[in-house]
A and B are shown apart, each in its own frame.
Chain A
């Protein structure tokens, strides 16, 4: 695959956190329209890798490319227009309306010192709100939204800038099953539009069901990188998570994976 065909890629990425190496020599390539799940145990480096890809973390070594262009050559604001990153949902909810939040997400497109956007930006805000299904709630305060709505508001915040790459850290944690499904379906729709999406997540069943590719991260190294429906994925996942897993085909024929909790409740 030529580098120009990838939405985002990295070569030999190395990141330390307070002198401790966290990410060791990671190579990865994600093409436009691909949904990639990063799976790994706590402290395996998932968040750090995402932050590295978002240029929020100083790289010890390695190169980052957007459509074949080295990211070092990109100005902060251009990079911001092309790569949107969402940290794990912050515990402090900003005191503003949904629309105000989404408008802020559009700021990389504003002229350098502008506080507000143009008519074009406002149309984009409306589109993003519609895409996540929050048009009716646009003027409500973020403080009174449900967990699922809040997460969708943040997704609208990220996609309103029409990014090429969307990086999400644990977007489904704290969500009920229904909202988890809704959010992953929303991401699937976004990828159809050609956005490359990389999601760090804990939930293996969601990853297998919705992602095109699963990357296993173990102590800061890529342990495996497979298509989500490949045969060996169960074993690979089990090794990375140090747990026994069960897999089965649903009645519709798709692969499902769950942990084998194996609890003996007989007295």
Chain B
């Protein structure tokens, strides 16, 4: 890693921190830092406590979790399918996760929030398994992409069909299809507790294998790895984290696609730094998008899902043109 890139890792970390703090500062009411501090750490601080601790802080944590999941899944999928345009949305994983959620929501309108989380994770993981199964021969990255794309389109159509067919869930449908963090609460933020240990374990088990896979299947195998197995595990893992993201925010597009490229340009495409950078870039985009979504037409709000591209696209285009 060059000195330039170490500096960039630090810069990305800092920017993500700034985006997180900004997401606490801005909203219908603008707080200053001392008010935020009181809201976070002093239980009986009244209004600040109610808004920051009960609403903004869990929502920011949720936004960060969505961004981290999508950014990480995008980076891993781009490595494993050797396709720079892969992401959980394009490979159909988000849509399959969403389809299971839609089915559960239509069948059990009063489903508990955690049942929805289980539905999304099940959808993501089973969706990944389905894609791997149908594209049989996990040795063909291109086939996985094509099959995922087709299954995803099919699932999206089913979601829209289900939602429009059963009118009971209109509110759910709007937030879900456009993607956003409206109503994200501690119920969502607490998913970090599930996410973090899984990600740490998977990093320990898969990081070296993913590194070697990025050199090509033959070379990875000659280094003593099993490329097809690594690819299958990695894609199933992406199903899991994508499921968590979908359960919080619905279908947020663009983050999984853009984050790896932003990270690749800033911190290189090697090993842990790349995956971590992509995670941070995803967090930055979703936190930024959610903050804007709350501020632009305050006191009402836009779905953050439509703003991710507005935040991410200019950064991506700038970096790709500049080729750091």
Q: A-B contact count, CB below 8 Å?
A: 71
A56–B268 CA distance with the chains assembled, in angstroms: 29
- Residues A82-118 near B (CB distance < 8 A): 83-87, 90, 94-97, 100-101, 104-105, 107-108, 110, 113-115
Query: Does A192 sit within 8 A of B, measured CB to CB?
Result: no
Q: Which residue of B lies closest to A51 (CB)?
A: B218
Query: Does A139 sit within 8 A of B, measured CB to CB?
Result: yes
Interface residues of B (CB under 8 A from A): 1-2, 204-205, 207-208, 211-212, 214-216, 218-219, 221-226, 264, 268-272
Check B218 against A56 for contact (C-beta < 8 Å): yes
Q: Which residue of A lies closest to B270 (CB)?
A: A96
Q: Give the Cβ gap from B28 to chain A, nearest Cβ, in Å.
A: 43
Query: Does A80 sit within 8 A of B, measured CB to CB?
Result: yes
Q: Which residue of B lies closest to A83 (CB)?
A: B222
Could you list some 20 contacts between A and B, CB below 8 A? A54-B218, A76-B221, A76-B226, A80-B224, A85-B219, A87-B216, A90-B215, A94-B214, A94-B270, A95-B269, A96-B268, A97-B270, A100-B270, A100-B271, A104-B211, A107-B211, A113-B204, A115-B207, A115-B272, A141-B2
A55–B222 CA distance with the chains assembled, in angstroms: 8
Q: Which residue of B lies closest to A143 (CB)?
A: B323
Find chain A residues with CB under 8 A from B223 CB.
Answer: 80, 104-105, 107-108
Find chain A residues with CB under 8 A from B221 CB.
Answer: 55-56, 76
A81–B272 CA distance with the chains assembled, in angstroms: 24
Find chain A residues with CB under 8 A from B219 CB.
Answer: 85-87
Check B1 against A97 for contact (C-beta < 8 Å): yes
Query: Which of the residues B205, B207, B226, B264 comes within 8 Å of A95, measured between beta carbons?
Result: B264
Find chain A residues with CB under 8 A from B225 CB.
Answer: 76
Check B224 against A81 for contact (C-beta < 8 Å): yes
Most chain A beta carbons < 10 A, residue from B215, B222, B223, B264: B222
Find chain B residues with CB under 8 A from A86 CB.
Answer: 219
Check B222 against A84 for contact (C-beta < 8 Å): yes
Q: Give the Cβ gap from A110 to chain B, nearest Cβ, in Å.
A: 7
A108–B223 CA distance with the chains assembled, in angstroms: 6
